[in-house]
Structure 1
Amino acid sequence: MLTTNTIDRQDFREAMSRFAAAVLLVTTDGPAGRRGVTVSAACSVSDDPATMLVCLNQGSVHNRRFSDNGNFAVNVLSVDSERLARAFSGEGGLSLDERFALGAWERRATGAPLLADALVAFDCRMIENRVVATHHVMIGTVEAMRFGPKAPSLLYRDRLYHQL
């Protein structure tokens, strides 16, 4: 059933800015090329099988690389990774190669880049990808994980970075 949404877009964005979220770096690599994006919209779906969900803005044509590659990694950032989060969000206008040069990367099962100093990184094989409103909603099974150091998490709230 199709309904009409009467919520003002800017009001909704303001409301969501008050929602504290972990800062994540979502990456992919494969035949379509490498890509990395800073996001806060990701979560687990299930633990049996281990499954993750990520939302990416469809406004960037480069985000199609995720579905074309069929993989993604969810890298959970620590407070020490704020510079990386800013770079992958587009601040500073760095090229893709310059952004990736800011971190050390590993690869596991799918070939998606895993950040070596992420608190934890989930290597996912995409099982579903659909457009919902303005975003690609990607769902993937976790094929491998990489645990990093225990450290304070980088959070995003009120359009600012914070630590927990």
Structure 2
Amino acid sequence: MLAPETSAYREAMARLGAAVNIVTTGTLDNPVGFTASAVCSVTDTPPTLLVCLNRNSRARSAFYEEGAMCVNVLTSSQQDLSNHFASPNTMAERFAAGHWQTLATGAPVLHEAAASFDCQISQIVEVGTHSVLFGIVRGILCHAGAEGLVYFNRSYHSLPCRQG
């Protein structure tokens, strides 16, 4: 059986809504980060996430070198920050926005994120055009009441926070 055409696959994937994240590595003095929607939980024992990173990304080598990453889940008010990290801006320009701190691994954590998962990279698997980064969660920062930001059908959408 033949695989579907790339354009048909991409069009169908646009219908798969996903949280918008900024994924970081490095340090506060030398930060690296990019916008990602291909992020998901793998297991809760041990707590593990996966992130898909295009092999052509200029950020890729830093994730191999550093061994740490932080998945910062964006809020509904952070669309501009998402676009800023997806742009050709330098890393210094990207990290000039937001307030950054560290948790367990030293990777940059966005203080204003809805949630941040500070991870030690346990494995990297190459699949097609992407590197799949597996990270074991070492620290978490959550902000209760933050509205979510998802990307669906090539545009941003806000998700309300459930109260109570």
The alignment's TM-score, normalised by the length of structure 2, stands at: 0.91
Contact 1:21 1:40 in 2 (8 A): yes
Letter in 2 for 1:50: P
Give the superposition deviation at 1:104.
Answer: 0.2
Query: Structure 1: any 5+ residue segments left out of the alignment?
Result: none
Contact 1:40 1:156 in 2 (8 A): yes
Letter in 2 for 1:78: T
Identity between Structure 1 and Structure 2 (%): 41
- 1:108 corresponds to: 103
Partners of 1:13 and 1:116 lie apart in 2 by 33
Give the superposition deviation at 1:149.
Answer: 4.2
Partners of 1:40 and 1:62 lie apart in 2 by 16
Partners of 1:96 and 1:149 lie apart in 2 by 29
- 2:129 corresponds to: 134
Contact 1:116 1:148 in 2 (8 A): no
Residue 144, structure 1, aligned to residue 139, structure 2:
yes
Contact 1:118 1:149 in 2 (8 A): no
Residue 13, structure 1, aligned to residue 33, structure 2:
no
Letter in 2 for 1:117: E
- 1:59 corresponds to: 56
Partners of 1:151 and 1:77 lie apart in 2 by 9
Give the superposition deviation at 1:11.
Answer: 0.5
Partners of 2:146 and 2:76 lie apart in 1 by 8
State the number of aligned residues.
157
Residue 36, structure 1, aligned to residue 33, structure 2:
yes
Q: Structure 1 residue runs of 4+, over 6 Å off?
A: none
Letter in 2 for 1:71: A
Residue 153, structure 1, aligned to residue 143, structure 2:
no
Give the superposition deviation at 1:5.
Answer: 4.9
User: Of 78, 83, 87, which aligns to 2:84?
Assistant: 87
Letter in 1 for 2:100: W
Give the superposition deviation at 1:67.
Answer: 1.6
User: Of 53, 68, 71, which aligns to 1:71?
Assistant: 68
- 1:46 corresponds to: 43
Residue 162, structure 1, aligned to residue 157, structure 2:
yes
CA offsets per residue over residues 25-82 of structure 1, 9 Å max, x none?
100015xx52111010011111111111110111124312112100100000001111
* CA RMSD, 1 decimal: 1.3
Query: Structure 2: any 5+ residue segments left out of the alignment?
Result: 160-164
Letter in 1 for 2:81: L
State which drifts further: 57-66 or 78-87: 57-66
